Structure 1
Amino acid sequence: MKIMSLETFRQRVGDRPRVLVKITTDEGVAGWSEVYNHGPDLAYPPLLSYLFEQIQGMDPLRPTAINQFLLQSSRFPQGALGLAAIAAIDLALWDIAGKALGVPVYRLLGGAVRDRVRVYAGLYSAPDVAELRDTTSALHDRYGFTAFKLSPYRRDPNRTRFGLVARAIGEYFGDVRHSHPEEFEFAFDAHACLWEPRQAVELGAALAPNEPLFLEEPIRPEHVPAWARIRSELAVPLATGECLYSPQEFLALLTAGGADIVQPDICVVGGLTQLVRIAAIADAHYVPVTPHNPLGPLATAANVHFAAATTNFGLLEYKVDDVSWCQDPYLPVDGHLDLRPDRPGWGVEVDESALTTDDWVSWTRRVPVRPDGSTAWM
């Protein structure tokens, strides 16, 4: 079996653009993946075409070897776009391998260590408590969610004294906790908007009385000693990892004692091949892996197989979005995603007829501006 072709499709998931990848072999077996939308997303098709020229004719049943080849094919580290493209190729090849051998991908990783995968709902905002209660109740009734992720900002941290920002989220979380069933869990994603470690500590202290599931990425990832300091002063679980790219970066973070939970993204770190390595490093440090997963049904499917075969998996981020091109996405039941042992590869089907129309949507990130005109982290 040989890699014969690589095609890209410009689509969307919800209101976000998405590049889909299809790799086909000379025997007609096709594997699918989606690319992380770091932006500029339109750079991905030519980049993927360039990488495909290097692997055309190779054996698709050797995803680990091809992943290593692509990592070594550049003199310098590939960076965000390069690793996302390599991840897309890696994931499509794992899909092919499972389909060619007639087994789910998790069987290729040593088999399942759990029967289903727990998920939490990514809400990414901090709505008024009554509105939040309506949302969480609907998600619980329909999908069984008992865990949710919110924003920790009720006031603009770039335009408000930070003590007021921390006080507001502390009061808000207290109201959230008292208005929901006691078994519900709430995490808070700070989106690396803060720059001073002391502010992260203040934020954690405000959340601590009501026992958050975790505080995610309060500051930028670059300076590892800052993460060690924050974790040593926090009374809540500290999570991070979506902006880290390599096993070595996760090793540095964990060696420094900088996180209670790591959140690598399978579409960012170079694919399943690299995520398995990162999970092994985390396992050696007694740290669970709770993957970052704000993408669509193909990314979710890949994460399900990783989670199924990984002993130190925690729970999986899940974003409820409708897409036209996936016929049978993994949908939560009782707050979990069931495995599909009778389906080979990722266990989902792509409706190629829905890809005949370019369903692209323009989307750009907005950089915050402070009152003095300087810019802030988003």
Structure 2
Amino acid sequence: MTCDRDRPRVLVAIDTDEGITGWGECYNHGPDRALPPLLDYLFLQLEGEDPRRIERIVQKLLMQSRFPPGALGLAAISAIDHALWDISAKALGVPAYQLLGGTVRDRVRVYLGVYTAPDPKEVRDYCNQMNAQWGFTAFKMSPYRNDIHAEPWGKTLKATADWVEVLHALCPDYEFAYDAHAKLFEPWQAEQLGNALAPFNPMFYEEPMRPENFESWGALKSKLRVPLATGESLYSRFEFLRLLQAGGADIIQPDICVVGGLLEMRKIAALAEAFFVPVAPHNPMGPLATAVNLHFSAACPNFKILEYRLPHGAAYHSDGMQTDDQSAAYITDPYLPKDGHLELRPDRPGWGVEIDEDYLKTDRYVHWERKLPKRPDGSWSYT
């Protein structure tokens, strides 16, 4: 276990008797400390298996559970799946995407989150800086400009519309998506907020309400004039199938560290393709998860755009050279954007990155817990 800024990272290494090590990453933004003992248990089912039989092994792990595994089980299986693909590709000396039928695109477009600059001019300056340094032309931020639980709803809508109007006037050359973080319980509020954004043609409107009721998502999408995106909180192709059958999304956002790994991610994408729905993977994790997502995205025909986080704790010169600070030091060579895209590494087997195992031996772990907001009456609100 390691950390990236204030977020925990649970990385998984699987060794083979041929001397090949595969690496994967769990989704672990709570409860992160529950994953290591679960991984120890799952390894008992792996020992002695041929790591190249990925489908067989994943089926075994799924069937060992009396009931379908949820968030923790699938997060652990995701990292195991990643490691198995890494091993299989390294055994052949090829990038992992070659095992997926090769690439359908030469590079993968990424977007960057902007969450701490409420003033439109600050956002403009930040976007201009990221564009000049890395070529980003797409960004995502929160649509909320006030406390949605303490202030009148009409004031929230007006504050959002006024802010976005100024922002888009200042930044006509950039695309913006808006992540509502499932904070809205009532669908009519999700509808009104999305349609307040509609005049500005956002790239997408992300997860305004809880994900469990697929029929409600279908009803919401039918009333919106913006592309509706969701899926980071869904676990398997069966849940995504229900969402798609309900007509509940214009864009789906499965997380390769949540759904059970690359194998399940491919099945989800194939289902979405049959519904003419693109995939924009949810990717708030570390640089290893980004590497796995890059290989998936490069080989996915209905891929749209990939969420990306610049590695924390370091600065880079505009020519891409790293400064003295260390960034995501457990990855010595993270994928970094060029012209708003991640470039493939055809000469590098597996995920194409190097893990610093000596760094992982140091104790830098930071436990993370979700901060729950309270409504004025003292009840918890969604976050």
Residue 179 (structure 1) aligned to one of 170, 182, 206: 170
Summarize deviations over 1:184-206 as a string: whole Å, max 9, x none. Answer: 10000001000000001111111
Structure 1: distance between partners of 2:276 and 2:5 = 36
Query: What is the Cα deviation at residue 218 of structure 1?
Result: 0.2
Query: What is the Cα deviation at residue 356 of structure 1?
Result: 1.5
Match of 1:333 in 2: 338
Range with greater deviation from structure 2 (29-38 or 117-126): 117-126
Cα RMSD for the two superposed structures: 0.9
Residue 370 (structure 1) aligned to one of 368, 372, 375: 375
**1:109 is aligned to 2:95:** no
User: Where do 5+ consecutive residues of structure 2 fail to align?
Assistant: 313-327
Match of 2:43 in 1: 52
3-state secondary structure, aligned to 1:23:
strand
Q: Following TM superposition, where does structure 1 have runs of at least 4 consecutive aligned residues deviating by more than 3 angstroms?
A: none
Structure 1: distance between partners of 2:132 and 2:347 = 28
Match of 2:323 in 1: none
Structure 1: distance between partners of 2:126 and 2:139 = 10
- Contact residue 291 and residue 335 of structure 2 kept, 8 A: yes
Summarize deviations over 1:123-163 as a string: whole Å, max 9, x none. Answer: 23552112112211111111100000000110111111112
**1:161 is aligned to 2:152:** yes
3-state secondary structure, aligned to 1:362:
coil
- Matched pairs, number: 368
Match of 1:315 in 2: 305
Query: What is the Cα deviation at residue 227 of structure 1?
Result: 0.5
**1:17 is aligned to 2:11:** no
**1:31 is aligned to 2:22:** yes
Structure 1: distance between partners of 2:115 and 2:273 = 28
Structure 2: distance between partners of 1:363 and 1:115 = 36
Structure 1: distance between partners of 2:117 and 2:144 = 7
- Contact residue 124 and residue 189 of structure 1 kept, 8 A: no
Summarize deviations over 1:310-360 as a string: whole Å, max 9, x none. Answer: 100000000112311111111000000011111110000011111110110
Match of 2:178 in 1: 188
Match of 1:287 in 2: 277
- Contact residue 32 and residue 368 of structure 2 kept, 8 A: no
Summarize deviations over 1:231-267 as a string: whole Å, max 9, x none. Answer: 0000000000000001010010111111000000000
Residue 261 (structure 2) aligned to one of 271, 288, 297: 271
Range with greater deviation from structure 2 (366-375 or 48-57): 366-375
Percent of aligned positions with the same letter in both sequences?
A: 60
Counterpart residue type for residue 206 of structure 1: A
User: Where do 5+ consecutive residues of structure 1 fail to align?
Assistant: 1-9
Counterpart residue type for residue 15 of structure 1: D
Match of 1:252 in 2: 242
Counterpart residue type for residue 111 of structure 2: Y
3-state secondary structure, aligned to 2:10:
strand
Structure 2: distance between partners of 1:331 and 1:352 = 21
Over 3 Å counting, the alpha-carbon distance change for 1:286 and 1:126 in structure 2 is farther
The TM-score with structure 1 as length reference comes to 0.96
Match of 2:136 in 1: 145
3-state secondary structure, aligned to 1:127:
coil
**1:240 is aligned to 2:218:** no
Match of 1:5 in 2: none
Residue 57 (structure 2) aligned to one of 52, 61, 66: 66
- Contact residue 330 and residue 337 of structure 1 kept, 8 A: yes
